[in-house]
Amino acid sequence: MSQPPDRSSRGQHRPGRAAYPGAPPEAPSFEDEIETATRYEKRLVLKALLAIALVAVALLIRFYG
């Protein structure tokens, strides 16, 4: 699998586009912020699916158990 252009082969971030104008060099890049937000949203989806599955199991037990 190919690496995104802002990453080196060791997984270290190269300087990317600043997250906001005037951001200090040690601040995460805009791409890092997008990646972090995307990862968070995916985890929320998994938690929501798990909650729906648990409710479905509880309803099955309630009505057929």
Mean per-residue pLDDT pooled into runs of 10, the chain (65 residues): 49 63 83 94 98 98 92
d(CA 14, CA 2): 16
* Among the listed residues 36, 35, 37, 17, the one whose alpha carbon sits nearest the alpha carbon of residue 27: 17
- Asked if residue 52 is part of any domain, the answer here is yes
- Asked if residue 54 is part of any domain, the answer here is yes
- Asked if residue 55 is part of any domain, the answer here is yes
- pLDDT for 27 equals 83
- Asked if residue 65 is part of any domain, the answer here is yes
Chain-centroid distance, C-alpha 4? 16
- pLDDT for 29 equals 86
- pLDDT for 13 equals 52
Which tokens sit at 20? Answer: 């906001």
Task: Note down the domain range covering 45.
Answer: 29-65
Q: Total structural domains in the chain? A: 1
In this prediction the pTM is 0.59
30-32-35 Cα angle (round to 5) = 110
- Asked if residue 14 is part of any domain, the answer here is no
Residue 29, strand partner residues: 18
